[in-house]
Structure 1
Amino acid sequence: MTYCVGMMLDRGLVFMSDTRTNAGLDNISTFRKMKIFENPGERVLTLMSAGNLATTQAVISLLEERTKAPDDRDPSLMAAPSMFQAARLVADVLREVIEAHAQTGQQADSAFNATMMLGGQIYGGPPRMFLIYPEGNFIESGEDTPFFQIGEIKYGRPILVRAYRPDMSFEKALRLLLVSFDSTLKANLTVGAPFDYHVYETDSLKTGKTGRIELDDPYFQTVSRDWGTALTDALDRLPTYEF
Structure 2
Amino acid sequence: MTYCVGMMLDRGLVMMSDTRTNAGVDNIATFNKMHTWEVEGDRALILMSAGNLATTQSVVSMLDERTKAHDQRNPSILEAPSMFQVARLIAETLRDVISIHEDAGPRAAAQFGATLLLGGQVAGGPPRLFMIYPEGNFIEASADNPFFQIGETKYGRPILVRAFDPQMSFEKALKLLLVSFDSTLKANLSVGLPFDFQLYETDSLRLGYRSRVQGDSPYFQQISSGWGEALKQALDSLPDFVLEK
- Flag whether TM exceeds 0.5 (same fold): yes
Structure 2 residue 233 is matched with structure 1 residue 233? yes
What is the Cα deviation at residue 28 of structure 1? Answer: 1.3
Q: Give the equivalent residue in structure 1 for 2:42.
A: 42
- The 1:160–1:105 alpha-carbon spacing in structure 2 relative to 1, beyond 3 Å, is closer
Gaps of 5+ in 1: none
In the aligned structure 2, how far is the partner of 1:108 from the partner of 1:79? 33
In the aligned structure 2, how far is the partner of 1:166 from the partner of 1:23? 34
What do residues 153-211 of structure 1 show as CA deviations (whole Å, max 9, x unaligned)?
A: 00000000000000000000000000000000000011000000001000111110000
- The 1:154–1:106 alpha-carbon spacing in structure 2 relative to 1, beyond 3 Å, is closer
* Residue type of the alignment partner of 1:235: L
Q: Give the equivalent residue in structure 2 for 1:128.
A: 128
Contact 1:48–1:118 under 8 Å retained in 2? yes
What do residues 58-81 of structure 1 show as CA deviations (whole Å, max 9, x unaligned)?
A: 000000000000212111010010
Mapping for residues 131-146 of structure 1, pairs under 5 Å: 131-146=131-146
In the aligned structure 2, how far is the partner of 1:26 from the partner of 1:82? 44
Contact 1:102–1:112 under 8 Å retained in 2? no
In the aligned structure 2, how far is the partner of 1:192 from the partner of 1:73? 39
* Partner secondary structure for residue 50 of structure 1: strand
What do residues 23-52 of structure 1 show as CA deviations (whole Å, max 9, x unaligned)?
A: 644321100000011001100000000000
In the aligned structure 2, how far is the partner of 1:113 from the partner of 1:26? 25
Contact 1:44–1:122 under 8 Å retained in 2? yes
* Residue type of the alignment partner of 1:11: R
CA RMSD of aligned residues (A): 1.1
Mapping for residues 155-166 of structure 1, pairs under 5 Å: 155-166=155-166
* Partner secondary structure for residue 191 of structure 1: coil
In the aligned structure 1, how far is the partner of 2:58 from the partner of 2:2? 17
Give the share of equivalent positions with the same residue, in percent.
Answer: 67
In the aligned structure 1, how far is the partner of 2:106 from the partner of 2:57? 19
Mapping for residues 187-206 of structure 1, pairs under 5 Å: 187-206=187-206
Q: Give the equivalent residue in structure 1 for 2:74.
A: 74
More displaced, 206-215 or 106-115? 106-115
In the aligned structure 2, how far is the partner of 1:169 from the partner of 1:217? 21
* Residue type of the alignment partner of 1:239: P
Structure 2 residue 82 is matched with structure 1 residue 87? no
Q: What is the total number of aligned residue pairs between the two structures?
A: 243
In the aligned structure 1, how far is the partner of 2:141 from the partner of 2:192? 26
Gaps of 5+ in 2: none
What is the Cα deviation at residue 109 of structure 1? Answer: 3.8
In the aligned structure 1, how far is the partner of 2:90 from the partner of 2:57? 13
Once superposed, which parts of structure 1, at least 4 consecutive aligned residues long, lie more than 4 Å away?
A: 104-107
* Partner secondary structure for residue 191 of structure 2: coil
In the aligned structure 1, how far is the partner of 2:206 from the partner of 2:237? 46
What is the Cα deviation at residue 108 of structure 1? Answer: 2.7
In the aligned structure 1, how far is the partner of 2:10 from the partner of 2:101? 40
In the aligned structure 1, how far is the partner of 2:235 from the partner of 2:97? 48
Contact 2:5–2:17 under 8 Å retained in 1? yes
